[in-house]
Structure 1
């Protein structure tokens, strides 16, 4: 596919929205209730795209195969659901991208590994210009990213070939999913992955700031 693209798909955490403050708060509430010190946001931020699994690993050194993990995960998810959009905001510049897409009547959507109930709850409380044309969550298809299934499902919902879409994400599995789906990808180096790592992922584009996407003239 040669740009311009006919639709833009976004990862959610670390790409469309800065959700790390509320995710970190959910974890630190658990630590404080156990008499532990709160961890600084800077330490937890890189794990935000990995959800409960990554944050519990940092906060309690428990992996999913640990017997205590399911209890910790469920408590974390309850905490997060109760305060899901207190400090969460769109990344600076993302609103302008969405406004631009709206002005061009170009559809945009969200493809995330966040489970659907949390995705929909967050989107219902997060002010943004426009409404996504599709929302695909981590439990929408049988296999989440890095499987291509969620991106292929999103393209089907948009009634477009995958090659007509571009996917923006801040994690290696986002790039892997896009490549497997036959979709161009842009790595959001402004997200939770750090600025250096995304340049090793084979993304067609690397964005140090969201508005660079518009500067590239891709839509």
Structure 2
């Protein structure tokens, strides 16, 4: 019986893509370039601000100009972090089920802490989340297992007693390296170069809806 559940943030626990899409498409309009397709942006959300800027400005930029665009993106995102963002459909029911069973849930993400905390606060999740591990908290981020071990330590659990759910190969690699049970969230922001062979990710389970995720987790935490 597993004793806790950890989630990746963007594309696994929370559907943050709509806000990324709106901001990037507005940047395209301001740069007077063709507006990028929403699905293209969605597939890159998990890669963060640098990837968003590179979508709009794919040709080489000098570092100062690139950082200017990145900082502008981050500022716009911080100011409008939960306009259209929300938990994936069915996710709140899953979280409530865990809470009713006294199973702690938390987040291990590569999203900076200041943005993660603002987002969780905006969605009234901050006090419900038992642990939040961000890049600021470790020396090595996912796919290294260090964040996973830190989360386990903060939960006062062995890593092998924890389920980790993610939508990127680095999530599954990090979870597997820490001996956690891994679940691939096939409904998430799957990278284009890896989404055609999900079996190759070597996750313990693959789900394609939050309802399937709920059922798998329920079976894994039930005595």
Decide whether the 8 Å contact of 2:117 with 2:126 is kept in 1: no
- Give a deviation string over 1:150-199, Cα, whole Å, max 9, x none: 11110000000000001000000001111111211100000010764432
- Give a deviation string over 1:40-61, Cα, whole Å, max 9, x none: 3122110111111222222211
Two-structure CA RMSD over aligned residues (Å): 2.0
Q: Secondary structure at the match of 2:102?
A: coil
How does the TM-score come out when normalised to structure 1?
A: 0.91
- Aligned mates of 2:112, 2:93 — CA distance in 1: 27
Q: Secondary structure at the match of 2:210?
A: coil
Alignment coverage as a number of residue pairs? 216
- Aligned mates of 1:182, 1:96 — CA distance in 2: 27
- Aligned mates of 1:158, 1:22 — CA distance in 2: 31
More helix by share: 2
Q: 1:199 to 1:63 in 2, by over 3 A?
A: farther
Q: 1:133 to 1:177 in 2, by over 3 A?
A: same
Decide whether the 8 Å contact of 1:115 with 1:137 is kept in 2: yes
Verify: 1:206 aligned to 2:203, yes or no: no
- Aligned mates of 1:133, 1:54 — CA distance in 2: 29
Q: Which residue of 2 aligns with 1:179?
A: 176
Q: Pick the aligned partner of 1:153 from 145, 150, 155.
A: 150
Q: Which residue of 1 aligns with 2:109?
A: 112
Decide whether the 8 Å contact of 1:13 with 1:48 is kept in 2: yes
- Aligned mates of 1:151, 1:78 — CA distance in 2: 29
Q: 1:78 to 1:105 in 2, by over 3 A?
A: same
How does the TM-score come out when normalised to structure 2?
A: 0.90
Gaps of 5+ in 2: none
Verify: 1:215 aligned to 2:215, yes or no: yes
Decide whether the 8 Å contact of 1:113 with 1:145 is kept in 2: yes
Moved runs in structure 1, 4+ residues, more than 3 A? 62-68, 127-130, 194-197
Gaps of 5+ in 1: none
Q: Which deviates further from its counterpart, 141-150 or 194-203?
A: 194-203
Kindly state the Cα deviation for residue 148 of structure 1 after the two structures are TM-superposed: 0.6
Q: Pick the aligned partner of 2:54 from 57, 61, 86.
A: 57
